[in-house]
Structure 1
Amino acid sequence: MTEIKLEELSNEELLKREKMVKSVTYTLVGMLFVLFALSMFLTFKKGFTPLIVIPIALMPIVLANLGSIKKIQAERKLRGL
């Protein structure tokens, strides 16, 4: 997978990418929170369930996306957008 250089994107592409990454990241965070809450509920109701591992395992994706958002915001600031 090739890394897209933010410096090469146009202003519109950069803003579009920021909006997309933010929406995907915040949706994923919301879904992981719901999944974690449901798995905790199932753990208390029926005992340990391996489902609790999924939100923890997917957390690095959220952290990587948050890093991407910071890079995009830094590029926006550099361009004065």
Structure 2
Amino acid sequence: MSAKRKSSNPISHDPETPPEITDAWISEADLYLGEKLVRRGRPKVANPRQLLSLRLPPKVIERWRATGPGWQTRMADALEKSAPKSRRAVG
């Protein structure tokens, strides 16, 4: 998500007066290791899943949901295992 960052507290024009350091200020601060900016959040996935709209009978969805948390992952695994083999080009 690309949300606008909150504007920080104005910096004092007096170089002798340091800015107030609060927990909120620290939580929003950028972290650098040497010259490299350390990104926050979930790391990027090598093979991200794609969104697909698929119409299934309600009873099929109910049966998968009844298997408990993780049902979508189990459904994807079952689909992957039963996927047809790719056909080789004849020529």
When the two structures are superposed, what TM-score results if normalisation uses the length of structure 2? 0.26
Point out the structure with the larger strand share: 2
Structure index of larger Rg = 2
When the two structures are superposed, what TM-score results if normalisation uses the length of structure 1? 0.28
Which structure exhibits the higher relative contact order, with contacts defined as CA atoms closer than 8 Å and separated by 6 or more residues? 1
